[in-house]
Structure 1
Amino acid sequence: MLERNRVVGQRIARVMCAASGLMEVPVVDDPAELHKVLSKRPLLLGCDAADLDLALEWAAERYPTLNLMVWTSGNVASVLRAALGEARLSNVMGWPTFESMPRPWEIALSVKRLLNPLAAPPRLSDMLSWGATIVKWRPRSSDERDRAVSEVSHWAERAGAPTRIAERLGELAHELLMNAMYGAPIDRRGRPRYSHDRKQSLTLEENEIPTLRLGTDGERIALQAHDPFGRLRRHDVFEGITRGLSAREVSGGPDDQVLDTSRGGAGLGMLKIYSAGAVLLVDVTPRSSTLVTSFYDLDVNPREFRSLPASVHFFERQAALAEPVEQSER
């Protein structure tokens, strides 16, 4: 790990060490010293965005096995654009300036998933504190989708979210379910079944029904959508977010007033999903499962939230060796 602040570096290293099964995690604060502590086939390098250019150069030219994990308390957009061009950078962590280090659970999750890419994704309850409550929906029709969206706002407010945030989580639920119900299903020939008309009313087949979960532990609210198709791709995630951010920068407007229609408006949809929370997790088993999870921090003032850097993580499992994903929370 490369971190200029030695105290922060040691804190992050302890989390990485614990998550890796107590593997050695060398820490340096000088880029000139980094090469001396790296093995011939390093698995993972964590660093601040200030050293991203060096990390990208080493990943491209010296270490083909190296995955990258980057944190920043500044402009995330530049890191996301770099991730769009480098497939080994799929874990970008926004570091809230009021915290002493990047979120430990994010670091641990990234390390575990990168070191064991065939492992099943953690259940939603595993990513919240012990004692969390999980609410689940399986909407089959357009009407059931709308009821689920309404209930998400209701339960989010019951969990302590301000009214405007509860409404925003309802909007996020709608976006996630629209993608899972209209965009994900395909027929036996691999052709999209419903994406040609997202305004149509529909009733899904049993094997097409998505699952929506809301979880809260009193500190965070998490919203997760699961579909059984596994069609979301890494490029779609990072390209959609960066394109949406670019459109927002040009317009100077808020998220919900930015629409890039050059490729079906996907930039807006992915940006809305990304911007709705503090941390976005995307976990895909190709042709089998897509999990999209957004976390919102209940202790952060809504005004302050809009200025904080948000995280995004993309994980992909090998479908041939992975078992189907289904979570067991009630």
Structure 2
Amino acid sequence: MSTAPHLEASGLLLIADASLPAAALEQVVPLLTQGGVGASAVTSASTGSRGLLLFDGVLKPEHAQWLRREPPALLLATRERDGGPSMWEALLVGAVLKPSGTLLPERAEVTRHPLRRVADIHEAAKAAASAVGAAEGSRVAAGLVADVVHEIAANALLDAPVDAKGEPRYAHRRTEVREVAPEDACELVFAVEDGRMWLEVADRFGGLRPGPFARALDGWGQKVKVDASGGGAGLGLRRILEHCDTVAARVCVGRESRVVCVVDLGDARRRATQPKSLLFCSHEVRAGG
């Protein structure tokens, strides 16, 4: 149990890290309620509650420990001028905690790109970058969006598929694969909403784990160390986190991994130092569910 100030709200153990005053917890409960998290709050800390760490959004290596909890904690930035989190991220927290459904904003106008061939990834990246331009986003943002698409699409298409024994089907021969089997195909969906590009991809395997995210944070602020032990490029996840304002992953174990990345369309270049949220939520699939 953390000794940091805490508050429990409908199964979420809200925790304020050292960057925030304890009073920030009381202020965030109504916002999370609007986001669909829950309506009540008590001042006891239940064992096994899912943690939500409220912090200033400045990622540090010590934040990796929160992803190694069981269950992993959600890292929510207080990026607004009033010192609280954003409404769009509160809604995203509510969506991540649900066992199914898209993580994109409700009523957003989406564009879909089926992915089966490696060439499809490049086409999807070009389309997403063009959408940034059409929304009057910056060239910097367009480049970041294209980069993120390449990373998350390749992860879902080439790294996620496993065979009946749980062995990777394509990850260890990425450079050789041009097309995956029809049953391993997936889809990239994107939408522009309120000056941000939302990018979502899902696979049907549900094998994503918090460990790679924690390892990416272990070396945050230091030179990137590539970890290709899983077959993919360990550099990719670090790049995704650096480029995005928010990264959220919801895993239904053995059934689906769904990842959404949110990129601000402004022209700021030093994205790695800007406030970030990292939301990882795993759901166990019950028999017959």
Question: Given the two structures, how large is their TM-score scaled by the length of structure 1?
Answer: 0.72
Could you tell me which amino acid in structure 2 is paired with residue 195 of structure 1? A
- 1:278 deviates by 0.6
Could you tell me which amino acid in structure 1 is paired with residue 178 of structure 2? L
- RMSD after superposition: 2.7
Q: 1:70 to 1:134 in 2, by over 3 A?
A: same
- Write the deviation string for residues 160-179 of structure 1: whole angstroms up to 9, x where unpaired: 32112101111111111111
Q: 1:320 to 1:64 in 2, by over 3 A?
A: same
Q: 1:140 to 1:78 in 2, by over 3 A?
A: closer
- 1:153 deviates by 1.3
Could you tell me which amino acid in structure 2 is paired with residue 274 of structure 1? L
- 1:181 deviates by 1.5
SS, match of residue 192 in structure 1: coil
Given that residues 276 and 294 in structure 1 are in contact (C-alpha distance below 8 angstroms), is that contact kept between their aligned partners in structure 2? no
Supply the distance in 2 between the matched residues of 1:113 and 1:169 (Cα, whole angstroms): 22
- 1:230 deviates by 1.0
- Write the deviation string for residues 179-238 of structure 1: whole angstroms up to 9, x where unpaired: 112111122332211111111142222211111011112322101111111111122322
Match of 1:88 in 2: 71
Q: Residue 124 of structure 2 is aligned with which of 139, 144, 148?
A: 148
- 1:301 deviates by 4.7
Supply the distance in 2 between the matched residues of 1:111 and 1:133 (Cα, whole angstroms): 20
Could you tell me which amino acid in structure 2 is paired with residue 145 of structure 1? I
SS, match of residue 133 in structure 1: coil
| Greater RCO structure (CA 8 Å; 6+ sep) | 2
**Identity over aligned residues, as a percent?**
19
Supply the distance in 2 between the matched residues of 1:238 and 1:188 (Cα, whole angstroms): 27
Structure whose residues are more often helix by fraction = 1
Where do 1:155-304 residues align within 5 Å? 155-239=131-215, 241-245=216-220, 248-249=221-222, 251=223, 258-261=224-227, 263=229, 266-298=233-265, 300-303=266-269
SS, match of residue 122 in structure 2: helix
- 1:111 deviates by 5.5
Match of 2:280 in 1: 314
Could you tell me which amino acid in structure 2 is paired with residue 101 of structure 1? G
Given that residues 245 and 263 in structure 2 are in contact (C-alpha distance below 8 angstroms), is that contact kept between their aligned partners in structure 1? yes
Supply the distance in 2 between the matched residues of 1:230 and 1:218 (Cα, whole angstroms): 30
- Write the deviation string for residues 224-255 of structure 1: whole angstroms up to 9, x where unpaired: 1111111111223222x22442xx42x3xxxx
Q: 1:108 to 1:147 in 2, by over 3 A?
A: closer
Supply the distance in 2 between the matched residues of 1:124 and 1:234 (Cα, whole angstroms): 21
Match of 1:47 in 2: none
Could you tell me which amino acid in structure 2 is paired with residue 260 of structure 1? V
Structure 2 unaligned regions, length at least 5: 1-6, 8-14
- 1:303 deviates by 3.6
Given that residues 246 and 277 in structure 2 are in contact (C-alpha distance below 8 angstroms), is that contact kept between their aligned partners in structure 1? yes
- 1:9 deviates by 4.2
SS, match of residue 47 in structure 2: coil
How many residues are treated as equivalent by the alignment? Answer: 270
Supply the distance in 2 between the matched residues of 1:322 and 1:283 (Cα, whole angstroms): 20
Supply the distance in 1 between the matched residues of 2:158 and 2:125 (Cα, whole angstroms): 16
Q: 1:206 to 1:259 in 2, by over 3 A?
A: same
- Write the deviation string for residues 40-60 of structure 1: whole angstroms up to 9, x where unpaired: xx4xxxxxxxxxxxxxxxxxx
Structure 1 unaligned regions, length at least 5: 27-36, 43-62, 252-257, 324-330
Could you tell me which amino acid in structure 2 is paired with residue 125 of structure 1? P
- 1:285 deviates by 1.1
Given that residues 76 and 94 in structure 1 are in contact (C-alpha distance below 8 angstroms), is that contact kept between their aligned partners in structure 2? no
Given that residues 118 and 179 in structure 2 are in contact (C-alpha distance below 8 angstroms), is that contact kept between their aligned partners in structure 1? yes
- 1:22 deviates by 2.5
Question: Given the two structures, how large is their TM-score scaled by the length of structure 2?
Answer: 0.81
